[in-house]
Amino acid sequence: MQNLTNKKWIIIFLSIIVVCSTAIAVFHILPGGRVAVITKDEKILYKIDLSSVKESYTLTVGGNVVLVENGYISMQSADCPDKLCVKQGKISEVGSIVCLPNKVIIRIDRNEEIDAALR
């Protein structure tokens, strides 16, 4: 009888460990997808998982048009004077596209390993 309860406790203990470590693992792996975040005037408008995009489409954000493709995102057009954001082309892994005049940002949530990027 004493033995049986011991076993029971060991099983409970092990299953708790398994559940917790799975939870931790999932927690760490989940944000690994390439999520592009589009903000205007410091407010988040869209969060898009670029790896799950099947057909390309565009989004209108104020005077800017964002092109969303499988694995890539870019500024297709903008009504700002310098159009630096359009010239920047597509991004897929590192960095962000910023349209300063219209206060539109497209950023791909960075690799957790990098804390800041010099420009």
**Contact indicator for 59, 71 with CB cutoff of 8 Å:** no
| 75 contact partners, CB below 8 Å, separation of at least 6 | 64, 65, 66, 67, 85, 86, 88, 97, 99, 104, 106
Closest separation between CB of residue 86 and another protein, Å?
A: 12
Closest separation between CB of residue 78 and another protein, Å?
A: 15
The residue ranges that bind another protein (CB under 8 A) are: 9, 12-13, 16-17, 20, 23-24, 27-28, 39, 42, 81-82, 88-89, 91, 94-95, 97-98, 100, 103, 105, 113-119
Give whichever of 76 and 88 is closer to another protein, judged by the CB atom: 88
Closest separation between CB of residue 76 and another protein, Å?
A: 16
Rounded Cα–Cα distance for residues 8 and 3 (Å): 9
